[in-house]
Structure 1
Amino acid sequence: MDSKLATDRAEALKLVHERLEMAVRGGLIRLRVEGQSRDSRTIGVRGRDLLNYGSCAYLGLNTDQRLIDGAKAALDQYGPVFSSSAAYASIGLYTDLEERLGKIFDQGHVLVPTTTTLGHLSVLPVLVSPGDLVLLDHQVHASVQLTAGVLRGIGAEVRTIPHNDVGALYGVLSEDAHKHKRVWFLADGVYSMYGDTAPVKAIAPLLDEFENLYLYYDDAHGVGWRGRHGVGHVLTEVGYHPRMIMIGSLAKSWGAGGSVLVLPSQTMAEHVLLAGATFTFSGPVHPAELGAAVAAADIHLSAERDVREEQLLTKIDYVRDRLVASQLPALSLERTPLWFVRVGEPENAIELARRMMHDGFYVNVSGFPVVPLGMDGIRFTTTLFQTDDDLARFMDALERNIEGLVVPLEWRIELH
Structure 2
Amino acid sequence: MTKADRSIAAQFKEKLIQKGLEQRLQKIQTAPASGAQVGGPDISEAFTRFDRQPGYQQVHLMQEGAERFGVKSPFFHVHQGTAGAHSAIEGRRVINFGSYNYLGLSGHPEVNAAAQAAIAQYGSSVSASRIVAGERPLHRQLEKALADFYGVDDALTFVSGHATNVTTIGHLLGARDLILHDEYAHNSIVQGALLSGAQRLTFPHNDLNALETLLRQQRRKAERVLIVVEGMYSMDGDFPDLPRLINLKKKHQAWLMVDEAHSFGVVGATGRGIAEHFSVNTHDVDIWMGTLSKTLAACGGYIAGEQALIDNLRYLAPGFLYSVGLAPPLAAAALTALTILQKEPDRVHTLQERGQYFLEEAKRQQMDTGFSAGYAITPLIIGSSLQAVRLSSQLLEQGVHVQPILYPAVPEKQARLRFFLNVEHSPEELRDSLVMLKAYAS
Q: TM-score, normalised by structure 2?
A: 0.83
Deviates more, 1:99-108 or 1:313-322: 99-108
In structure 2, the partner of 1:363 is: 402
- Alpha carbons 1:353, 1:363 under 8 Å: kept: yes
In structure 2, the partner of 1:101 is: 146
1:76-115 pair list within 5 angstroms: 76-88=120-132, 89-115=134-160
The alignment partner of 1:357 has SS state of helix
- RCO higher in structure (CA 8 A, sep ≥6): 1
Counterpart code for 1:31: H
- Residues 308-351 of structure 1 show CA distances to partners (whole Å, capped at 9, x for unaligned) of 11111111121011122111011123032101111122111111
| Distance change >3 Å, CA 4–CA 49, structure 1 → 2 | closer
Matched, 1:216 2:257: yes
- Alpha carbons 1:217, 1:234 under 8 Å: kept: no
- Alpha carbons 2:156, 2:302 under 8 Å: kept: yes
- Alpha carbons 1:139, 1:163 under 8 Å: kept: yes
- Alpha carbons 1:59, 1:308 under 8 Å: kept: yes
| Structure 2: distance between partners of 1:330 and 1:18 | 29
Structure showing greater radius of gyration is: 2
Q: CA deviation at 1:26?
A: 1.5
In structure 1, the partner of 2:323 is: 282
Q: CA deviation at 1:23?
A: 6.3
1:1-400 pair list within 5 angstroms: 14-15=57-58, 18-19=61-62, 26-36=72-82, 40-88=84-132, 89-152=134-197, 156-211=198-253, 213-227=254-268, 230-234=271-275, 236-237=277-278, 238-241=280-283, 244-263=286-305, 265-302=306-343, 304=344, 306-400=345-439
The alignment partner of 1:285 has SS state of coil
In structure 1, the partner of 2:441 is: 402
Counterpart code for 2:302: V
- Residues 173-231 of structure 1 show CA distances to partners (whole Å, capped at 9, x for unaligned) of 111111111221222110111111122233221123212x1111211001122336533
Q: Which runs of 5+ in 1 are unaligned?
A: 404-416
| Structure 2: distance between partners of 1:227 and 1:291 | 24
Identity of aligned residues (%): 25
Q: CA deviation at 1:297?
A: 2.1
Q: CA deviation at 1:163?
A: 1.3
In structure 2, the partner of 1:412 is: none
| Structure 1: distance between partners of 2:289 and 2:424 | 26
| Structure 2: distance between partners of 1:357 and 1:60 | 21
Query: Once superposed, what is the RMSD of the aligned Cα atoms?
Result: 2.4
| Structure 2: distance between partners of 1:391 and 1:59 | 16
Deviates more, 1:246-255 or 1:198-207: 198-207
| Distance change >3 Å, CA 252–CA 353, structure 1 → 2 | same
| Structure 2: distance between partners of 1:368 and 1:106 | 41
Q: Which runs of 5+ in 2 are unaligned?
A: 1-29, 36-51
| Structure 1: distance between partners of 2:56 and 2:275 | 34
| Structure 1: distance between partners of 2:206 and 2:320 | 31
Q: CA deviation at 1:127?
A: 1.6
| Structure 1: distance between partners of 2:230 and 2:60 | 26
| Structure 2: distance between partners of 1:125 and 1:67 | 33
| Structure 1: distance between partners of 2:32 and 2:138 | 48
Q: CA deviation at 1:17?
A: 5.1
| Structure 2: distance between partners of 1:138 and 1:16 | 24
The alignment partner of 1:159 has SS state of strand
Counterpart code for 1:81: S
| Structure 2: distance between partners of 1:150 and 1:20 | 31
Q: CA deviation at 1:362?
A: 0.2
Q: TM-score, normalised by structure 1?
A: 0.87
| Distance change >3 Å, CA 7–CA 375, structure 1 → 2 | farther
- Alpha carbons 1:219, 1:234 under 8 Å: kept: no
| Structure 1: distance between partners of 2:97 and 2:411 | 22
Q: CA deviation at 1:235?
A: 5.3
| Structure 1: distance between partners of 2:232 and 2:427 | 24
In structure 1, the partner of 2:3 is: none
Q: Which runs of 4+ in 1 moved over 6 A?
A: 7-10
The alignment partner of 2:422 has SS state of coil
- Alpha carbons 2:98, 2:402 under 8 Å: kept: yes
In structure 2, the partner of 1:414 is: none
| Distance change >3 Å, CA 57–CA 320, structure 1 → 2 | same
In structure 2, the partner of 1:408 is: none
Counterpart code for 2:80: E
- Residues 231-253 of structure 1 show CA distances to partners (whole Å, capped at 9, x for unaligned) of 32245423324562110112101
| Structure 1: distance between partners of 2:375 and 2:339 | 23
